[in-house]
Amino acid sequence: MSSEHNVQGLDEPNQAAPRSAPTGFGGVKVDDAVRDLITSYHSFNSTTIDELSEEPSALEFMRYVSRNRPFVVRKGAENWKARQKWNAAYLSGVLKDQSVNVAITPYGNADSVIELPDPSQDPKTKNMIFVKPYETMLPFTTVMEQIQEQELASLAPSAHSNAAPVTRYLQTQNDNLRNEYTTIFSDVPESVPFARIALAQDPDAINFWLGNSHSTTALHKDNYENVYVQILGKKHFVLLPHVEAACVGEKSVLAATYEIRKIHGNGTISGDDSVVRSGDMTAVIDDPVEYVPFATWDPDQPERNTTPYSQYSQPLRVTLNEGDMLYLPALWYHKVSQSCSEEGICCAVNYWYDLDFSGGFWSTANFVRGVGLLTMNERECENHGVGENED
C-alpha cells in the first residue's frame, strides 16, 4: 500500500529505481564468485594447522568444530594402553591366526582413480576408472608377516627376496575395532572424551588400520568428524577445506574392482591368492556398471587433471608421529601416506562421529560443491562445442 511522501533532491524519477546490490566479488560471473570464495577463505584462515600440547576441553573442541578447522594434539595419546603395548609381536600374539579382511592391490592404490591409455590420442580425453581393492580373508599373523616382509624388502632387497610383490592393507572402515578386532579394543578408549561431550554422542565407528609405506589413500572426504590417532609409525596428511571442492576435479568415474587372475603355464586362469604378484591382478569393471563421484586432482601432482580453480588451492600438510592425535573436520578432503616403525608396520586408530546435518553447514557445503561443478560443466560444454539448449 503506497502513500504520499514529500521528497526533495531527485534529479529525475528513475534515479530512485532500485539497482543490483553489490556482490562483493571481484568479477561479474559465477566462476569469479567461486574463485573469490576460495581466495577470501584463505585470507581469513591460517595456512598451518594449530598444534596443541594437551587435549582440548569440550568447549575448546567445539570452537574448532564450529569453525570446521583441524588441529593436532602432540603426544595426546601417549598414555594409551595401545601406545604402551602394541607392536608386531603383541598384536600377533593376541590376534594369532584369527581370520581378518585384507585389501590387496598391485601398487597400494586401494579406492583410487587410475588413468587408462587413450587410443584416440585426443588431449581433451582422459579415460579413467575408480578401482577398489581385492578383498579376502587371511590369518592375521600371515598378513602381519607379509606387510613386514614387503616393507623390509624395500629397505634391503637382497636380504628379503621372498617379499610379497603386492600391497596388503588392513583397512575395513566398518567399526572393525569393536567387531573384527574386539580382542584388542580394550587397549584404546571407548570414546574420545572431549569429542563425546562436545558432540553429545558416542562414536559411530572406531577403526583399526595396519599397513606399510607402500599404501597411499587417495584424496577424498568423509561425512564424519574424525579423531585420528597414530599408534606406530607415521602418517602424512594433505588436507583441503570443503570450500576447495571446485579445486579437486570431482568426476563420476567408472567403477572397477581388482581381481586375481593368474595365468598358469598350461593356459588356465585361477583366482588363487596364496602367492600373488602385481601382474596377476586385473581391474574388472563392476557388473552392474556404476559410476562413483571422486576427486581426480592430486595436490602432490598439481599440474595434472587441473580445474580452473586448482591454482587457488592451499593444501595444509601435517605429519602425525607416534602418540599424536589429529582432529580432521567433516568434509575436509584428505590424502594420506605413511612411514613405518622399525618393525616395518604403520598402525593407527580413528574415531568417526556423525556429522550434525541440521543447521546450515551441510546445505551450504553441498551448495558450494554444486556451484563449482556447474561452472566446470559449463566450461566443458563450451570446450566441446555443446550448445546451451542441447539435451
| Domain-embedded: residue 52 | yes
| Domain-embedded: residue 32 | yes
pLDDT in tens, 355-373: 999 999 999 999 999 999 9
CA distance 258 to 382: 36
Q: Say whether pTM exceeds 0.85.
A: yes
| Domain-embedded: residue 110 | yes
Please give the average per-residue pLDDT across 122-140, as a whole number. Answer: 89
Question: How many domains in the chain?
Answer: 1
pLDDT exceeds 60 at position 152: yes
What's the CATH number where 157 sits? 2.60.120.10
| Domain-embedded: residue 86 | yes
Domain coverage including residue 321: 28-380
| Domain-embedded: residue 228 | yes
pLDDT exceeds 60 at position 344: yes
The pLDDT of residue 273 = 56
| Domain-embedded: residue 236 | yes
| Domain-embedded: residue 365 | yes
| Domain-embedded: residue 46 | yes
| Reported confidence tier of residue 379, pLDDT bands at 50, 70, 90 | confident
pLDDT in tens, 30-87: 889 999 999 999 999 999 999 999 999 999 999 999 999 999 999 999 999 999 999 9
| Reported confidence tier of residue 274, pLDDT bands at 50, 70, 90 | low
pLDDT over 70 for what percent of the chain?
A: 88
